[in-house]
Amino acid sequence: MKQKFKLSILFISILLLINCKISKTNKPLNILWLVAEDLSPYYLNAYGDSRANTPNLDRLAREGVVYTHNFSVSGVCSPSRATLATGLYPNSFGAQNMRTLNQQPAAREAGIIDYQAVPPPEVKMVSEIMRENGYYTTNNAKEDYQFFKSELAWDESSIYAHWRNRPNKETPFFSIFNFGVSHESKMWDFKKQIFDGVEFPPQRSVKISDSKYKNSHVPIMVPKDLKVEVPPYLPQNEIGQNAMRRMYTNIIRMDKGVGKILEQLEEDGLLDQTIIVWYSDHGGPLPRQKRLLYDSGLHVPLIIRYPEGSRAGERDSRLISFVDFPPTLLSMAGIQIPSYMQGQAFEGVFISKTPRTFIHGHADRFDESVDMIRAVRNKRFKYLKNFHPHRPYYLPLAYREKMEVMQELLRMRNAGTLDENQAQWFRKSKVEEELFDIENDPHELSNISDDPLFADVLASLRTECDRWIKAIDDKGFIKEVDLIKTFYPNGKAQLTRAPTIDIKKGKVTLSCPTPGGRIGYRYSSEKAPYKGWKIYTGPIEEKPNDTLEIITHRLGYKYGITSLANGIIGKTFYPPNRHDKKIKPGGF
């Protein structure tokens, strides 16, 4: 009880700090998201493993709050980013399959075309809501939301995007920087990422092909004889150890990228005017980590540094889900949270009064391999519901098999030399329900669903899984080819309709006939790559001898651009994308 009281006092304190800051300066705080890829918390100094030298993350942990129970909604990036962008579970609106926008050849052969998932009409990207409330928003530069970004979501989304580009330096910003050096692909592609070790972000005048940006080999950055702890499900040999050393090397590189952004924040005098949020997009890059619903795939690090040392050095053990990130972002900015969001704010002005009891996760199609699993976790136990128990645990994936350690696992499987822990992943079938005591079995190797001692726990988590599936109207039960038909009638993306335009006395009034369609505009004379479309809120001026461009866009639909010049309305143009190719007969 005393602990709960202390936590309440801390939460109230941070709310008072934020509200006081806003009221004193009449300016909201900036918010910065720094996003690593494919990284579990277990391998970081802030979470107890000091093998990788991460002075910048250590600083954030020392000056901020380390959240110990933060979870992705999926073990892979695209569905996770769909949630981070919208505040909805991916499987609540058909974004659960990896990936929708660019299919692997084997998926195409199965009739899965490139497509956008279509969120409900009321849904906006959270960055668009931030823009509506006066924030300058940038993304550098990964998108991958399972739908093409809203054209109103960012002032800029590119490798050049930066808060420094905002036209008015007094405007608060919400900026995201993504660090791909810890991605799974960097386990076999040992090359420097563009801008690693050079100016970041690059100047617009610099060509990507310039010699100083060319890729080069990255050596292992930890001692070659560093003693590492290889997870029991991976090869306990030199190949397994080298995989761990490569992963630690990539963590070190990622930390350097974080340091560059922190330096720029300090150079601009913005450190204590900015909430810094660092996290990874899902669990680790190694086999039986990425794509899976074990904690190795869902449990992710989260560190938040608040201005002026507030809560410095604290460790927060509340359960947090990615679906909570968008409402928390808005809450930190003092912006009312839309009712359609399925998460809850864990910080800020609108912090939820009821802490989470459970987090939820899903697994569906991963490239060419299809399965369906749902997960529910509380502080101690994990429940998995396998909807295709006749299918094996391990499903072949060409992309993952580029990794040497994955190749070694397959070699050992074929040679019959896997030990009991390693062989579990290669079982030919699954039980329908699994239960793990993560406190005593952190690698989730011992299924206790049949143990009568845990019958009540099993029943509780099973009930919660059923409740969640019904509450979000889980789209995983719809065949993907049928789901695509609802998004793409006649095999083509739906179009956001042209705006209705009314011109009176030099004022232009606009509306969009498409439910959920949003309207933006810009004048040709004011266009710049760092200036996003202005969000339409009411009648605007028709400027003589200047072209007014009007965009209409609903998420999941194609957007249209209509021009207006000297009272003449032009034809609506729908820019092409890679999905515009004709679908072959039988494509569905």
Report the CATH number that the domain containing residue 164 is assigned in CATH: 3.40.720.10
- 24 pLDDT exceeds 50? no
Q: Which residue's entry shows tokens 């990615």?
A: 322
Please indicate, yes or no, if residue 73 is contained in any of the structural domains: yes
Reduce the DSSP state of residue 485 to 3 states and report it. Answer: helix
Nearest to 289 by CA among 273, 302, 277, 300: 300
253 part of a folded domain: yes
Q: For tokens 């028709």, name the residue.
A: 542
Burial letters 58-76, b for 16+ CB under 10 A, else e: bbbbebbbbbbbbbbbbbb
Q: C-alpha distances in angstroms, 106 versus 103, 113, 368, 573? A: 8, 11, 5, 34
Q: Which of 73, 119, 77, 72 is nearest to 94 (CA)?
A: 119
pLDDT at 181: 96
The per-residue pLDDT of the chain, averaged, comes to 92
Six-digit token string for 519: 């309207």
Q: What is the pLDDT of residues 209-254, one digit of tens each?
A: 554 555 678 899 999 999 999 999 999 999 999 999 999 999 999 9
Domain that holds residue 534: 492-580
- Is residue 358 one of the residues assigned to a domain? no
Neighbours of 556 (CB within 10 A): 27
Q: Is 551 within the bounds of a domain?
A: yes
Task: State whether residue 35 is helix, strand or coil.
Answer: strand
How far is the C-alpha of 163 from the C-alpha of 353, rounded, in Å?
Answer: 33
pTM of the model: 0.94
Read off the pLDDT of residues 432-474 as tens digits, 9 standing for 90 and up.
999 999 999 999 999 999 999 999 999 999 999 999 999 999 9
Q: How confident is the model at residue 4 (pLDDT cuts 50, 70, 90)?
A: very low
Six-digit token pair at 386? 């396998």
% of the chain at pLDDT higher than 90 = 85
pLDDT at residue 582 is higher than 50 = no
* Domain end point (choices 278, 303, 324): 324
Domain boundary among 278, 306, 324: 324
Half-sphere exposure (Cβ direction) of 484: Cα atoms closer than 13 Å: 20
Q: Say whether 461 sits in a helix, a strand or coil.
A: helix
* Segment (H or E) for 30: strand 30-36
pLDDT in tens, 76-87: 999 999 999 999
Does some domain include residue 467? no
**Distance of alpha carbon 527 from alpha carbon 145, whole angstroms:** 26
Distance (Å, whole) CA 105 – CA 108: 5
At 9 the pLDDT is 39
Tell me if 499 is assigned to some domain.
Answer: yes
Asked whether residue 408 is domain-assigned, the answer is no
Domain count across the chain: 2
Boundary of a domain, candidates 324, 339, 362: 324
**483-494 residue pLDDT tens:** 999 999 988 999
Q: How many CB atoms lie within 10 A of CB 429?
A: 11
Q: So what's the pLDDT on residue 204? A: 85
Instruction: Flag whether pLDDT at 19 surpasses 50.
Output: no
Active-site residues: which are they?
77
Query: What DSSP character marks residue 439?
Result: T
- Cβ contact 523:533 at 8 Å: no
What single letter denotes the amino acid at residue 464? E
Mean pLDDT (whole number) for 269-284: 98
Task: For residue 411, tell me if it sits in a domain.
Answer: no
